[in-house]
Structure 1
């Protein structure tokens, strides 16, 4: 059976598959950076204390996008257009999850409910990002070409997840607990479907680039469906639990600067 390490090693070793992987990752991070930047600019007066943390979140996402572009440049590669079926952020938006780009493009201040919606969406998606980066860090954290980049991004994702826990708990204590739990559940159930669909789309593209046999592609697709079945049966609940994080005020530091070469 092909392990996660073996699969990513194969993607890493081939220029075209690595190019697609970094392009998809950079595109998602850039979208996240823009979204957080707009939210920070539109925070309502009642939540103004959150604005610097949201801006820091966006700056981190922008930094991650630059890191993935730097990894491409290091191998003499240029980014490719992200296939529509692999656009995780936009597919979530089409399911009504999070704040729509059309809403964020306007200049009208957000409401407190909008901020709760944003944080619930981020709590769920940052859980996924933290888990994925922890897996890559475990297997490739010492890799001479990408290890440092993976460690940096993984640490940031852990900070983002801690921040979401802390802020949602604060808002729950202010009387928004039921709304938060309902939004978290809606986000989690939508996210696991989108994650399945995006995973299948990415593996389809990778399979064509790497010349996988029909049998191998079918086995990988079956594994993705198996993960989705587990998450539907109850695995999604890990995405909605709230607990005080060990890292407190995780986004309270200075906004990061330019990404260093990798």
Structure 2
């Protein structure tokens, strides 16, 4: 029977598919760490109070990248080249979501509007990350190799999502509500399209590695398209709502160090 758990178990049990999975995850997390580090360095004076939280966000993402690389080393594997069509972060930037790397590579301070764009982008992508890690935590919290990593990263992603809610609500109260909602909607509608395309690309590569039949590949592709259709119709709304989080000041403390995985 084809299920999320059996699908991921198959990917985890094969060295080559596991290598690609961890390499894609590590690359995305490391890229997020760099982006947050640059945003912290360029934050405007009006938002300097946010800098420690942005830096903490980046430190967590860097930590996640190291964890996925450590999981590879533990199995004696080297990182794989990440196919460009599976690079979620790069594709989001290509479609104009978030702050451009050209801007982050410069020395010009960001504006308050740039910070709003960063937080709105993060609110959408952290929703996806939180949901994905919750799914992995549900099925693999007790996995001998992946369990500790999944639980730690899942907790961090929930913190990141809470932080985005809290800071966007603060900025909405200061008069940016309409701008925030506009950017959130644009980000969400683009993200669900990019997520569909990346999911299809990743499953295509996994299918070739694992030798899936055409029928099985077609079923998985249909499922991905079905998720996209739902999200395009109504599902995107969960990514744009804002509510006071249960976790307050989730990124207010120092980063939690990662245990050694290899």
Partner of 2:14: 14
Give ranges in structure 2 of 5+ residues lacking alignment: none
Partner of 1:49: 49
The answer on whether the counterparts of 1:23 and 1:69 sit within 8 Å (CA) in structure 2 is yes
Partner of 1:184: 184
Partner of 1:153: 153
After TM superposition, the score normalised by the length of structure 1 is 0.99
Partner of 1:99: 99
Q: Secondary structure at the match of 2:24?
A: helix
Q: How does 1:58-207 map to 2 (within 5 A)?
A: 58-207=58-207
The answer on whether the counterparts of 2:67 and 2:258 sit within 8 Å (CA) in structure 1 is no
Q: Secondary structure at the match of 1:212?
A: coil
- Tell me, in whole angstroms, the C-alpha distance in 2 between the residues paired with 1:254 and 1:181: 30
- Tell me, in whole angstroms, the C-alpha distance in 1 between the residues paired with 2:87 and 2:103: 19
Give ranges in structure 1 of 5+ residues lacking alignment: none
The answer on whether the counterparts of 1:29 and 1:65 sit within 8 Å (CA) in structure 2 is yes
- Tell me, in whole angstroms, the C-alpha distance in 2 between the residues paired with 1:196 and 1:186: 16
CA shift at 1:258, angstroms? 5.3
Partner of 1:218: 218
- Tell me, in whole angstroms, the C-alpha distance in 2 between the residues paired with 1:182 and 1:63: 32
**What CA deviation, in whole Å up to 9, does each residue of 1:110-132 have, x standing for no partner?**
00000000000000000000000
Q: Secondary structure at the match of 1:241?
A: coil
**What CA deviation, in whole Å up to 9, does each residue of 1:159-178 have, x standing for no partner?**
00000000000000000000
- Tell me, in whole angstroms, the C-alpha distance in 1 between the residues paired with 2:216 and 2:51: 47
- Tell me, in whole angstroms, the C-alpha distance in 2 between the residues paired with 1:25 and 1:183: 26
Kindly report structure 1 stretches of 4+ aligned residues shifted beyond 4 Å. Answer: none
- Please provide the CA RMSD for this pair: 0.8
CA shift at 1:39, angstroms? 0.1
- Tell me, in whole angstroms, the C-alpha distance in 2 between the residues paired with 1:250 and 1:258: 17
The answer on whether the counterparts of 2:193 and 2:228 sit within 8 Å (CA) in structure 1 is yes
Partner of 2:208: 208
Counting matched residue pairs gives 262
